[in-house]
Amino acid sequence: MSPTTDRDRGLLRRRSAGLAVAAALAVSGLVASPQAAVAAPDPGSPVKVNQVAYVPGVAKVATLVSSSTAPVAWTLRNAAGTVVASGRSTVKGADALSGDSTHLIDFSTFDTPGSGYVLSAENAGSYPFDISADPVKKLRYDSLAFFYHQRSGIAIDARYVGSTYARAAGHLGVAPNQGDTSVPCRQSCGYSLDVRGGWYDAGDQGKYVVNGGIATWQLQNAYERTLHVAGADKAALGDGTMAIPERTNGAPDILDEARWELEFLLRMQVPAGRTDAGMVHHKMHDENWTALPTIPAQDSQRRVLSPVSTAATLNLAAVAAQASRLWKTIDPTFSAKALAAAQSAYTAAQANPNRIASANDGTGGGAYSDSSVTDEFYWAAAELYATTGSDTYRADVTGSSLYKGRSFAQRGYDWGWTGGLGDTTLALVPNGLPSSDVAATRAAIVTFADAALARATSQAYPAPNNAGSVYYWGSNGQIANNANALALAYDFTGQSKYRTGVYAALDYFQGRNPLNQSYIAGYGEKAVQNVHHRFWAHQADASLPIAPPGSFSGGPNSELQDPIAAAQLAGCAPQKCFVDHIEAYSVNEVAINWNSALAWLATWAAEHTGAAPAVDTTPPTVPGTPLVSVSGMNFTSAGLSWTASTDPESGIAGYDVVRVAGDSFEVVATTTATNATVSRLQPATSYTYVIVARNGAGLSSTSAPVTFRTGEDVPPVDTPPTTPGTPVASAVTTTGATLTWTASTDDTGVAGYDVLRVSGGTSTVVAMSTTPTVTLTGLTPGTDHVLAVRARDTAGQLSSVTPTVAFRTLPTGTTPPGTCAVTYSANSWGSGFTASITLTNTGSTPWTSWNLGFTFAGDQKVTQGWSASYSQTGSAVTVTNAAWNGSVPAGGSTSIGFNGSYSGTNSVPTGFTVNGAPCS
């Protein structure tokens, strides 16, 4: 999106909440009538501190409100009341953003861990606080727990959140919900989509792709950063670290949480064969504004899809490409699915570059519109290039007006300005861009961080906000994003001033601000409680909870864009434009993109507790001039080796093999070894290469060049065929089945295909075909079969093997199916699982109702179902249609699902029937 002003973005979000008050609050009886002017919130003690904890080894500074023009005495007492430190303040003077006359109290020299400390000056004491690293380590997980709380389409289990915050699954079609399982377009599009899952965006229960995009990216990037920054704590984000159902599935928990949203984003993509295939719907939510309060499972409104947009499509392209590289070794099938969706989305966006979401689409949900998508194109291209290394995406990256960090010259990043996300990826993830360009991108981030840090340190209450004196809607989210840029600057330079700036921003969020207000629920003596939220609505309904720990309020908004704020805060200084009230939505809403910024920040801060490490300013030693291996060189490739570089301070992180052509440089390989093979060379051609050694601090040194020439008189070079598409099984009988797949391609022609039976680590050829289809016969009835395909070219070379397809032949005596097909998938965790089933009428006669039967292979039990009625006797399950999905036309389908429990192996059910007839 374009670099529109924060005011414009605030207005777009204001449509969301403003209509909520005008319509939804009236429904609930909480009518926001004009408010009588009342006093602004009490700013409390004049001694403003981080009410939670100062981290040992980090600067400890408080702000004192005082009109004294001379330094004043201060004392620090421990929990027993004993004075443990004292001194005199530094006069700061008038502070424009707060309107306060201020002093600074620096008690950094006292570093003894403990709790219950109180700082006093001018006969006033602060809120008590700790000196400890433990709270910020806890905040890392509480801020991430926000996303499980916000999940749609799954019961929020007391095992993970406690009984206070447990609730039934929302929007799965269980009455009174109409559900997200078959959502039509607000403007007729001829189809409905199953868009269950994902996160509720904010205080409402809508789901928005452009806000989900940046939030998903930040969670994924928090993990990806640990893969590429020396000393980063990957284990802290690993499997079993978060309180979520997937915590023992073998994948990093933070990626599991991000995947919950990404699976929803994938469902928002227009299916193949439809108009705008590959494009992504901008958002989905209730047809009209949801009443306040409303528990998600009790929402009775129809849900609708907004039209597709280029911005939403590019958000999916970016985060799905990012996810593909992160899941590649964890779940290759999902990785391939994500990359395919990303590539189709990017192609669709290129064909539809001006599908801008309407700024007037603000009924039932926020508009989230903007007028330009230059930054989204750059972001998506950067993620696709980092994942694939494709020259096509590389050209789009380097040809962008935002290349080399130029978006940071305008502002950092947020949902409406995403170029900086692409820059961050290119600065962190090894890629084939010239090292000088990567260095320029890092330098742009550091320059932005310097400006943000300068603004923060000039203030009495150090918040690295954007330039200017106006605090816009969601100011805390922007401050957190800018603090994240400070963290990256520390990663890139090791300069301690950036680390200090990160912790100062956390001080601001946790009480060192003009209102003595902690903006993080559950953190501090005066923490927010009454955020604008449909379920955490205790102020509106005493039976409902307050905001859970780790929830992050949007914070001061000097434009006062709701009736409560306008009445109570008129004339407020920018940093004082806040009130903790459920109807003050323009200052006290929560949102996934604000909490993702906080989670990234808290994760980094938790990692950097303790004494600041020594700053490495010395590059590694120069690696040896690369040697060309005679035995390793041929017409199109060459082997290079070199003497290792050394670095006693931060170690050698790796080597870049760089091709030099005139003034241009291209990284062709990255390795931690001291040898590499360069390929894709042209015969009878001279090449020059250098080796760049990188240390853990990001510093580098470059070897002397080596030049060589590839061989002459080259015979034709043949390449293997491309990998065929994943096979699909159909027409399954007791002894046979048909497999089909997307054809392979080859420079000399595809000679045929081998169909492989896969069992354990062994593959056996069971059939061969010259076309991308084969009919298998002679199979054993009632047996599971796992098959894959590979291609052969005319030179005898083989492609890679496709992902497998699994199916079960029908038992002996079963009538072959002819009128129905069933697809079944399950996501398992611990002793539970969520299953999704799609029934397709493959016959020529419409169904007016349907009855599905199947049999579990083990001890599985259905615990909760949606979109149908479920009953189970032993291992046999019977499912009957709901009133709204019983009619299925010929060729049509309907989707249902359920949650279940199991022990042992969660095998696929067998014996699927519809209305008594067996299904394929």
Would you put residue 273 in left (φ > 0), alpha (ψ -120 to 50) or beta?
Answer: left
Domain 728-808: CATH superfamily, name plus number: Immunoglobulins (2.60.40.10)
Q: First and final CA of the chain: distance in angstroms?
A: 46
Considering only residues 91 and 767, tell me which one the structure prediction assigns the higher pLDDT. Answer: 91
Indicate if the pLDDT at residue 631 is higher than 50: no
**Which range (49-63, 117-131, 386-400, 717-731) has the least confidence?**
717-731
Report, as an integer, the average pLDDT of 886-903: 86
List the structure tokens of 586.
Answer: 């323009």
Quick check: 532 and 588 in contact, CB under 8 A?
yes
Indicate if the pLDDT at residue 28 is higher than 60: no
Place of tokens 């259905």: 862
Give me the pLDDT at residue 614, please. Answer: 59
User: Residue 811: pLDDT band by 50, 70, 90 thresholds?
Assistant: low
Place of tokens 């939403």: 312
**Which range (511-515, 786-790, 791-795) has the least confidence?**
791-795
CA dihedral angle for residue 248, residue 251, residue 257, residue 261, rounded to 10 degrees: -130
At residue 201, the 3 state secondary structure works out as coil
Give me the pLDDT at residue 716, please. Answer: 47
Quick check: 153 and 171 in contact, CB under 8 A?
yes
Report, as an integer, the average pLDDT of 410-420: 95
- DSSP state letter for 779: P
Give me the pLDDT at residue 786, please. Answer: 81
At residue 320, the 3 state secondary structure works out as helix
Considering only residues 804 and 349, tell me which one the structure prediction assigns the higher pLDDT. Answer: 349
User: Residue 3: pLDDT band by 50, 70, 90 thresholds?
Assistant: very low
In CATH, the number for domain 820-918 is 2.60.40.290
Q: Which pairing describes strands 53-54 and 129-131: parallel, antiparallel, or unpaired?
A: parallel
Interval 247-262: pLDDT, tens: 999 999 999 999 999 9
Quick check: 741 and 725 in contact, CB under 8 A?
yes
User: Yes or no: is domain 627-709 CATH 2.40.110.10?
Assistant: no
Give me the pLDDT at residue 25, please. Answer: 38
User: Residue 15: pLDDT band by 50, 70, 90 thresholds?
Assistant: very low
Quick check: 625 and 642 in contact, CB under 8 A?
yes
Prior bond of 293 cis (ω within 30°): yes
The CATH number for 35-134+448-615, chosen from 2.60.120.40, 1.50.10.10, 1.10.1380.10, 3.20.20.70, is: 1.50.10.10
Considering only residues 46 and 880, tell me which one the structure prediction assigns the higher pLDDT. Answer: 46
Indicate if the pLDDT at residue 599 is higher than 80: yes
Quick check: 90 and 71 in contact, CB under 8 A?
yes
Give me the pLDDT at residue 117, please. Answer: 98
Angle at 381 between CA 380 and CA 384, to 5 degrees: 85
Give me the pLDDT at residue 243, please. Answer: 96
List the structure tokens of 886.
Answer: 């019983």
Give me the pLDDT at residue 214, please. Answer: 98
List the structure tokens of 118.
Answer: 């109180």
Report, as an integer, the average pLDDT of 225-253: 95
- Helix, strand, coil share of the chain (percent; to 5): 25, 25, 50
Considering only residues 407 and 636, tell me which one the structure prediction assigns the higher pLDDT. Answer: 407
The Cα–Cα gap between 595 and 150 comes to: 11
Q: Which of 897, 890, 737 is nearest to 817 (CA)?
A: 737
User: Residue 718: pLDDT band by 50, 70, 90 thresholds?
Assistant: low
Give me the pLDDT at residue 34, please. Answer: 37
Give me the active site residues, please: 580, 589
Angle at 630 between CA 628 and CA 632, to 5 degrees: 85
Prior bond of 43 cis (ω within 30°): no
Give me the pLDDT at residue 351, please. Answer: 96
Instruction: Please tell me the class of the 150-433 domain.
Output: mainly alpha
Domain-wise residue ranges, the chain: 35-134+448-615, 150-433, 627-709, 728-808, 820-918
Give me the pLDDT at residue 665, please. Answer: 66
Interval 262-316: pLDDT, tens: 999 999 999 999 999 999 999 999 999 999 999 999 999 999 999 999 999 999 9
User: Do 35-134+448-615 and 627-709 fold alike per CATH?
Assistant: no
Report, as an integer, the average pLDDT of 886-909: 86
Report the percentage of the chain scoring pLDDT > 90: 64
Residues in the chain, total? 920
- DSSP state letter for 794: T
Alpha helices, H only, 240-303: 253-267
Q: Which residues contact 81 (CB under 8 A, 6 or more apart)?
A: none
The Cα–Cα gap between 482 and 426 comes to: 18
> Please, is 760 exposed, middle or buried when counting C-beta atoms within 10 Å of its C-beta (0-12, 13-18, 19+)?
exposed
The Cα–Cα gap between 678 and 696 comes to: 25
Report, as an integer, the average pLDDT of 707-734: 75
Query: Considering the chain, what is the average pLDDT of its residues?
Result: 89
**Which range (319-333, 360-374, 744-758) has the least confidence?**
744-758
Q: Which residues contact 579 (CB under 8 A, 6 or more apart)?
A: 40, 41, 564, 565, 568, 569, 587, 588
Considering only residues 701 and 35, tell me which one the structure prediction assigns the higher pLDDT. Answer: 701
> Which of the given ranges, 654-668, 702-716, 835-849, has the highest pLDDT on average?
835-849
